[in-house]
Amino acid sequence: MQFMGYRRPDGLVGIRNHVLILPTCACGSEVCRVVAQQVNGAVHIINNSGCAEVKVNEDMTQTILTGFAANPNIYGTVVIGLGCENVPHDKLLDNIRKKTNKPVVSFGIQEIGGTVKTIDMAVRAARQMVSEASQLKREPCDMSELILGLECGGSDATSGFTANPALGWVSDRLIEMGASTIMAETIELIGAEHVLARRGATKEIHDQIIMICKNFEEHLAGVGQDCRHGQPTPGNKAGGLSTIEEKSLGCIYKGGHYPIVEVVPEGVRPTKKGSIIMDTPGYDIACNTAMIAGGCQVIAFTTGRGTPTGHAVAPILKITGNKQTFEKMKDNLEVDVSAVTEGKMSIEEAGQVIMDELLAIMNGKLTLAEVYGFSDTAIDRMCRFI
């Protein structure tokens, strides 16, 4: 099976053809927003981090920002910084160039002399990139070029026996075609990690799956916190999920059944093909952020309670197995597989419905969140700000 994608000079394939206006820090985010609004074909993200960070947080910010620029959906990047942040615009530009050979330029607000001058120069650069990007044509690409992110948020009792197993069916079919799928949310593996670890392709991967869950709990315990305070969430409980173990056992179904071939750090691109786990927190916006930075061209997001979330860099397909949720949130959700809940559709049939919508999105159909222009970004923090 093939899809129509954009071939990049670094050899990767995108399903979108954006020019990214990328702020180095919070102080450059509003300027990036103004620039993107003036250039049709440009997108931007809001970066609430990027300065006064401890080293571990600074490293995470740089991993995410460079990952966004290197994502195959991005044709080129315009970086905008303030000038006094820890990692200024020219350093971020260098980091991006080490990761990809796609077009990238950068500007510093303090160096140029204020927002008006910076906006003028950045708009000119972005317009030139968009003009160049517009000359690219989609071409047939093998499914092995795909990395699909698997996410769930606002889960309820239907998630574990409808939407997640149906998405797991999709994951298995894609892996059979040579694609890769990434499942994140380490905290939502806790209680089911022993089940998931059995899918490890090697003993080392089995042990890594157990260890990332153990490390997550110990990290929180080290500062006197318990992950069960926030898991399950109030919405999860209202939807019928009573414990973190129950939530996790339903969560892991979306990863399918194939052996897990790699466990990667947060925001890092996999080096192998197949079923991947990324070590991230449980907050769905932070998970999406990390998986997109790790190279996912698209994310399939299951939800029982509903969510409007989207991202500028990669489309997010929303799926529910709750009929009431779909009726209430048709403005935000693409796929309804509640017929599984009603006994009128098999998991395989529901998976095919998801697959068909996924392929349409990969070939250019816009998600509802893309139509609205939604872009939710949350960069994980390991420590407090200085």
One-letter-per-residue 3-state SS of the chain: CEEEEEECCCCCEECCCEEEEEECCHHHHHHHHHHHHCCCCEEECCCCCCCCCCHHHHHHHHHHHHHHHHCCCEEEEEEEECCCCCCCHHHHHHHHHHHCCCCEEEEEHHHHCCHHHHHHHHHHHHHHHHHHHCCCCCEEEEHHHCEEEEEECCCCCCCCCCHHHHHHHHHHHHHHCCCEEEECCHHHCCCCHHHHHCCECCHHHHHHHHHHHHHHHHHHHCCCCCHHHCCCCHHHHHCCCCCHHHHHHHHHHHHCCCCEEEEECCCCCCCCCCEEEECCCCCHHHHHHHHHHCCCCEEEEECCCCCCCCCCCCCEEEEECCHHHHHHCCCCCCEECHHHHCCCCCHHHHHHHHHHHHHHHHCCCCCHHHHHCCCCCCCCCCCCCC
Listed residue (3, 303, 322, 364) closest to 151, CA to CA: 303
Q: Cα separations (Å) of 128 from 42, 114, 131, 211?
A: 11, 22, 5, 47
Phi-psi region of 339 (alpha: psi -120 to 50; beta: other; left: phi over 0): alpha
Spatial contact of 375 and 43, defined as CB atoms under 8 Å apart: yes
| Whole-number Å distance between alpha carbons of 260 and 353 | 25
Listed residue (140, 69, 35) closest to 295, CA to CA: 69
Phi, psi values for residue 20, rounded to 5°? -95, 125
Listed residue (212, 35, 28) closest to 125, CA to CA: 35
Overall pTM > 0.85: yes
Listed residue (190, 178, 352, 189) closest to 261, CA to CA: 178
Listed residue (274, 215, 280, 225) closest to 251, CA to CA: 280
Q: Looking up tokens 């799956």, which residue turns up?
A: 209
pLDDT by 10-residue block (mean), the chain, 386 residues: 97 98 97 98 96 93 98 98 96 98 98 98 98 98 98 83 94 98 91 93 98 86 71 71 68 92 98 97 93 98 95 98 95 97 95 98 98 95 59
| Whole-number Å distance between alpha carbons of 238 and 161 | 17
Phi, psi values for residue 105, rounded to 5°? -135, 165
pLDDT tens figures, 243-255: 766 667 668 889 9
pLDDT at position 384 = 46
pLDDT at position 385 = 41
pLDDT at position 202 = 98
pLDDT at position 386 = 39
pLDDT at position 158 = 82
pLDDT at position 228 = 67
| Whole-number Å distance between alpha carbons of 318 and 149 | 12
Spatial contact of 289 and 377, defined as CB atoms under 8 Å apart: yes
Listed residue (2, 307, 320, 235) closest to 140, CA to CA: 2
Q: Which two tokens stand for residue 205?
A: 């991967």
Longest dimension (CA), the chain: 64
pLDDT at position 13 = 98
pLDDT at position 207 = 98
Which residues are CB-neighbours of 1 under 8 A, at least 6 positions away?
Answer: 143, 177, 359
Phi, psi values for residue 12, rounded to 5°? -85, 170
